[in-house]
Structure 1
Amino acid sequence: MECIDLQLIHALQIDGRAPLRRIASVLGVSDQMVARRYARLCETAGLRVVGRLNPRPVGQTVWALRLQCVPSASLGLARALAEREDTRWVQLASGGTEIICHLAVHSDSDRDALLMDRLPSSRRVTSITAHRMLRLFKGGPTTWDGPTAALSREQMDALAPSYPPPHAQAAPVRLTDLDHILLAALNRDGRASHAALAVEARCHESTVRRRIAHLRTAGALFFVLDVDERLLGDPSGTAIWMSVQPSRLAAAGAALAGHPEVAYAAATTGRTNLLANVLCSDDESLYAYLSDRIGTLLGVDTVETAPIIRTLKRDGAVARNHSPGTGERR
């Protein structure tokens, strides 16, 4: 992938709704070049910007699910989970015998309907483990600083949005009917124009603009970039589940947040209490990361790894149009 493409991706990671004209100015290239590159990345790399709710301020809880499955049925079940509106990051792992996904729910009844009724009734699922996310160290409103770290500090500062970054301690936000319409549209296309959103919501464009600004300022709404990582240097994803001594958990999580290989890190409930998703170029790189980085963290008692073999859903909706070589990853 060319440098200009990596710079554009990095720019959109910083602010997914930044106008392409502004990005072009910061990169020192023409508006037409940025527009062409953006369109091509959408077509070939499944690139899209997704509007996401910050869970805690809007009353959501997030769970990381691990489902051990009959191998012949795991893909079909993963596809069914990916179709749900309350799931994201649905992945096949461990040679296809395990499904890992995140579930964001507003109520215990929504959670229980899936975890206690639907999934246990399936003979295809041999075991279920659910870990509630307690503290996010990296991921969500933060960005992976792997091969897409292509901008200078000055360029990053010029593109940084004026809104405060979302955080777990943000004040509660009560969502309106208009918010739900806007959020559904922004989940499909985080770069939808205010004019297009106003048409869908049947209200004035100024109202849409003010409401989105309010949600972002309140820390309830942020934007993430959905892109096929395999086109960014072909990194291999691995889920790492760790058991860490409680007194060392905060320090271990902060250390993971500073590792460029880490795309996501969170403290969880359960027998293992620290989850990380890492992206390494090959097995030797993963071995070095486990031995040199994870192995030196104080308080880590056990480590379990699960190589990701397919991603069926990322932050956004399931891909419908698959480009050559991208499978169902979106």
Structure 2
Amino acid sequence: MKPTSSDPGQPAGHAALSGVDRKLVDLLKTDGRMSYADLGVAVDLSGDAIRERLKRLESAGVVSIIGSVSPRVLGYSTFALVAIRVQGPARAIAERIAAVPAADLVVCVAGPYDIIAQIVCRDDSALLSVLDEEIRSVPGVQIAEVFTFLTVDKYSAGFDAETTGPRQKAAPSLDEADHALIRTLQKDGRATFRNLEQASGLSYSSTRRRVQALLDSGVVRIVTVENPLTTSSRVQAGIGLTVSGPVEKVRAALREIPEVEVAISTAGSFDLMLEVTCSDKAVLGELTGERLRRIDGVQSSRTFQYLELVKLPFTWAGLEEATFGGPARP
């Protein structure tokens, strides 16, 4: 049953989280695998009550707790944002693109485009194949404008720029048991060690050691992804900037703006692509209409407000399964 605003402790679409839920989400952002008992102590509830409350938050789409693995660990080095204009209903096309293994973030937007998708591939040739075979060939897609990543200048919503960007170090060696653990954690970052043991085929003690090694090395991070579009008046948007003169001065200024969670230098019609989260539309208007325009070197901007997150980022689950858990991609 979907939660309603009259049901205490349960989130409703575009309704503020309760104080307990807000604290619970914040705790999980600090440690996504914190035990139900410890969470209960922190908010003065039983472990069973926390289990049910978290289940409701997840089923309502407010949070997802997943094991996030850098695509470079899986051998992927080409990143791109694809801005798509469609004819006809956008949601159905967005859902089809979300099923593409190379697609991470997929969102319906307002503005000059209808859908934004983040695509991750092994190389530029693979990116072209995805664009031609799995995006441009979709009925209803009229335009797919591509912005390939040059540098990731700010990435405060998940992996940092050192992990996600082009300069990340070579991936460590992983075996089939490691990949089985990764796949399970990608689907459920709070999977029990018993479930992980069954998935990997290792002993219980070996499973615990392997999981801890994956977490300690940074190969996998347990990330609590909050969907800001489901609660309160917060808004997210993508912003494309064109810059005159050196881009570095603009990058430095963007790093100091708290609402800018992601800043990427791109090849394409925009020099920089941003993802921002604002407390409400008025703050988004002030950010785009005043603060960004005051940055020396910013020549113009275009904003596309997020309407619906069709596929949340940070899991890379499709890539992992396509590489190790299913049929090989051409």
TM-score, normalised by the number of residues in structure 1: 0.77
Amino acid at match of 1:92: C
1:252 aligned onto 2:234: no
1:230 aligned onto 2:229: yes
The equivalent residue for 1:129 is 145
What are the superposed Cα offsets for residues 229-275 of structure 1, whole Å, 9 maximum, x if unpaired? Answer: 134322122110112357333x5345434433234332322231222
Q: Tell me the CA shift for residue 166 of structure 1.
A: 4.8
Secondary structure of the residue aligned to 1:185 is helix
8 Å Cα contact 1:12/1:18 also seen in 2: yes
Q: Tell me the CA shift for residue 125 of structure 1.
A: 2.1
Give the Cα–Cα distance (whole angstroms) in 2 for the partners of residues 55 and 129 of structure 1: 22
Q: Tell me the CA shift for residue 69 of structure 1.
A: 1.5
Q: Tell me the CA shift for residue 192 of structure 1.
A: 0.5
Q: Which of the residues 92, 97, 101 maps onto 1:81?
A: 97
Q: Tell me the CA shift for residue 303 of structure 1.
A: 0.8
Q: Tell me the CA shift for residue 299 of structure 1.
A: 2.0
The equivalent residue for 1:141 is 158
The equivalent residue for 2:309 is 311
Secondary structure of the residue aligned to 1:22 is helix
Give the Cα–Cα distance (whole angstroms) in 2 for the partners of residues 246 and 21 of structure 1: 55
Q: Which of the residues 29, 42, 46 maps onto 2:44?
A: 29
Secondary structure of the residue aligned to 1:295 is coil
Secondary structure of the residue aligned to 2:242 is strand
Q: Which of the residues 45, 60, 64 maps onto 2:81?
A: 64
Q: Please, which runs of 5 or more residues in structure 2 have no aligned partner?
A: 1-16, 319-330
Alignment CA distance shift 1:21-1:209 (3 Å) = same
Q: Tell me the CA shift for residue 171 of structure 1.
A: 4.0
Secondary structure of the residue aligned to 1:296 is coil
Alignment CA distance shift 1:14-1:299 (3 Å) = farther
8 Å Cα contact 1:171/1:218 also seen in 2: no
What are the superposed Cα offsets for residues 175-219 of structure 1, whole Å, 9 maximum, x if unpaired? Answer: 322222222211211110122111112111232222233333333
Alignment CA distance shift 1:97-1:142 (3 Å) = closer
Task: State the aligned residue count.
Answer: 294
1:5 aligned onto 2:5: no
Amino acid at match of 1:68: R
What are the superposed Cα offsets for residues 133-182 of structure 1, whole Å, 9 maximum, x if unpaired? Answer: 32151245369xxxxxxxxxxxxxxxxxxxxx956534422332222222
8 Å Cα contact 2:62/2:228 also seen in 1: no
The equivalent residue for 2:190 is 191
Q: Which of the residues 270, 273, 285 maps onto 1:272?
A: 270
8 Å Cα contact 2:193/2:204 also seen in 1: yes
Amino acid at match of 1:67: I
8 Å Cα contact 1:173/1:218 also seen in 2: no
Secondary structure of the residue aligned to 2:137 is coil
8 Å Cα contact 1:166/1:221 also seen in 2: no
The equivalent residue for 2:63 is 47
Q: Tell me the CA shift for residue 67 of structure 1.
A: 1.3
Secondary structure of the residue aligned to 1:224 is strand
What are the superposed Cα offsets for residues 7-45 of structure 1, whole Å, 9 maximum, x if unpaired? Answer: 1111212222222333444x3634435434323322334
Secondary structure of the residue aligned to 2:213 is helix
Secondary structure of the residue aligned to 1:242 is strand
TM-score, normalised by the number of residues in structure 2: 0.77
Q: Please, which runs of 5 or more residues in structure 1 have no aligned partner?
A: 144-164, 319-330
What are the superposed Cα offsets for residues 30-83 of structure 1, whole Å, 9 maximum, x if unpaired? Answer: 44354343233223344220111123344323221111211x153222111112
8 Å Cα contact 1:95/1:309 also seen in 2: no
